[in-house]
Amino acid sequence: MRKAHITRQTRETTIELTLNLDGVGNYKVETPVGFLSHMVETLARHGRFDIELYAEGDVHVSYHHTVEDVGIVLGMAFLQALGDKKGINRYGHAIVPMDEALVLASIDLSGRPLFFYEDLNLRGKITDFDFELIWEFFKGFALESKSTLHVKVLSGKVLHHIAEACFKALALSLRQAVSISGNLIPSTKESL
């Protein structure tokens, strides 16, 4: 089983996360940011990853640190659970509609941390959650998982739909990329 357990504590956040890449989409998520919890649950269910997450943070200051650090810890967990990456597909992509929203996500579990993001310059709040914080989550995830991640909002008006489509597209891309399709490391370098 490809699993990981990460604990990370800073002056701003305390996060504990358990990940099973070969799960069925079960989750137990406790964070002080309701929308973040909903998005991690969405990622678990649509990616079919089992995730247990407990997070505390200085939300009296801002949700920023908690959202970013959960992305960081999730990226660390994926990297750890993938091990030597032998047999994985390596690449994954998805285009996800969510009502009027349409989002593309593409990932390469390359060992080269890069992040590219376009969101039509939309800004605003989803309840009390700043929409631009999803950029911080994905950036933290991409850099710590050492993957190349592209997330591009193709269309949309309702921020909740756009954010949810982003997380669903990432989930489906990751499911494809981490799936086992052979027994070799998918690189002519024989290393990722």
pLDDT band at 20 (very low <50, low <70, confident <90, very high): very high
Q: Cβ of 167: how many Cβ atoms within 10 Å? A: 26
pLDDT at site 189: 86
pLDDT at site 1: 78
Angle at Cα 3 formed by Cα 8 and Cα 9, nearest 5°?
5
Question: 95 near 102, Cβ under 8 Å?
Answer: yes
Tell me the percentage of the chain whose pLDDT exceeds 90: 95
* Residue pLDDT, tens place only, 107-158: 999 999 999 999 999 999 999 999 999 999 999 999 999 999 999 999 999 9
- Tell me the pTM: 0.97
Question: 150 near 104, Cβ under 8 Å?
Answer: yes
* CATH code assigned to 3-178: 3.30.230.40
Give the phi and the psi of residue 129 in degrees, each rounded to 5. -100, 125
**DSSP SS3 for 129:** strand
pLDDT band at 31 (very low <50, low <70, confident <90, very high): very high
* Residue pLDDT, tens place only, 35-75: 999 999 999 999 999 999 999 999 999 999 999 999 999 99
Find the helix or strand (DSSP H, E) in which 142 lies: helix 133-145
pLDDT at site 191: 85
